[in-house]
Chains A and B, each alone.
Chain A
Amino acid sequence: MNTMQAMSIGLADLLRDDPRRVLLGEDVASGGMLGWSLACVDDPELRARVVSTPLIPATMAAHAGGLALAGLRPIVLLPSASALVEGLAGLREIGLVASRTGGDRSAPVLFVAPCGPGFGLGDDASIESTLARLVGVRVFSVGRSSDVLRRLADAAAFGEAEEPTVLLVPRMLLTAPHDDVPGTDATTPVQRARDGRTITVFTWGEALGPVLAACEDAEIDASVIDVVRLAPLDRDTLVELAKDTGRVAIIHAGLRAHGLGAEIAALVAEHAIHYLDAPVVRLCGDDGVHAPADEMRCVPTSDRIAAALTELASP
């Protein structure tokens, strides 16, 4: 089983768990281009809750928000995270519903969106920086195939404020084999993916795999932190994790400038600078726009990561 197939089964389980949940999308009735809705379509009990819409890029988020305001829990399956940029105005509006109504109403919609390199579509890596600026919108990321069902369940559970939520799934993971690893704590917004004492690495999404590989290959004593919930950040936990080692590296895919890494670097500088033994290191994808054939250049390689971490670890 690969990640796409696992997600299809996970989405069907979500619909069985809560009758308010509906799948929404342009091609969900036929399973979708990634097959995410296949298990729901195949189940006669669930098929009525697989709702096709026309292509409505500007208003899909707002339409789903209206469904949520009517008491449903829509799960919108998007073909690409760039669809969220097309619908940004609507996503912003439904994020503001709770504050505008004094908490009387909320729009708990889950958007599941593939992002980053894969199929020549790597131009939306680090889209989290755009989404994280929206007030009242939560953003979750998946770093490993084995985490995808837990992230899906976490994102679909919503918080007390029932905020609209985006789950970003790297395309790189979609065709990877899915081997479920039981026993990880599913409810923490920040997850330690590897133990270590010399360096704290904050990473997420596409970069988590290369970071873990680099630490193993170069035998780096790094604590690797998967920053699962990218918005809102669990600021206190991130600061404490930075203080633990005093050496911080922030590694993510996509563009470096104006990225979420800059926000975390500023957080560490504001609240943990007296605990640091070295300047904060940021490592991202290659700068600039890449041709589709070169799309993997937006993810830092494990060789570059190993070199940067080795230098940071040296006294």
Chain B
Amino acid sequence: MKKTFVILILILLVFGAAQFVRPHITNPPVTQEIPVPDSVMAVLKRSCFDCHSNQTRLKWFDKITPANFLVASDVRAARAAMNFSNWDSLQPSDQRSMLFLAVNEMRIRQMPLKSYRVMHPGASLDSNDVAILENYLAAISPRTPNDSITAVGMAVQKAARPGQQGVQVMPAVNGIRFFNGFDKWRALSTADRFETFSVRVIYGNEIAVKAVEEKKINPWPDGAVLAKSIWTAKTDTAGNITTGEFVLVDFMVKNSVLYASTFGWGFARFKGITLQPWGKDPSFAKFCMACHQVVRSNDFVFTYPMTPK
């Protein structure tokens, strides 16, 4: 009995002493707060600002050691990923992309983090909150007619197609090569992305097509390759959209062993009509994974493949 009492006292002493060791969580100056309507701001402040801004408000239990170390770590990571108080540090197109990513994470209840929601139940989002954000994103993503100016860019690209001239395409930095002839593969689906003003065709190689035909795509088999080719959305005044300038082609190469550290997929991107491999070192894949982790329950693939006839 006496021994238990001593141990308890010791634990309390250590716990008390630990309170003098705490991380430094500051609120640096706000350079530009995200400019959004009040209804949107209310949702962001309630559910996101504690971590994704320089206006962090800590509850009393957030300040207790050792929990505060976890809080500090989360806040640092969150501010590095997206900071609503330094909104001017992002290009306008990146600002919109980040918001779309955030909303898509909210839709699957990945954000706010479950660990945060447990301790801060008021930060949880319901469908109305998400709808407010979605409606705002739709409003800032208008389909503006651009057919005249796009035609000029298309003419330039037509004159400079490296594939037509037999130019060798360099592989991506992780060794994934450019798949010549991907555009002859079967189209598994198409996509019209109003948030990036682009249209896309998603192709599959023979292994991918076979997997679709056999309905075995979760997980996709090793050897499957998906190609996502992207064009700007050439839009006319009547609201008709078709492909404009070629933007890039992304490849996802399934090999659950070789690419175990990147969801079992090797990612590669070749940009522009000259197909320049994107990424200075293999860590570029983290940018791919940032979005694809949203669909982890579907083997990290967004596409719903159409079953061939």
A binds B: no
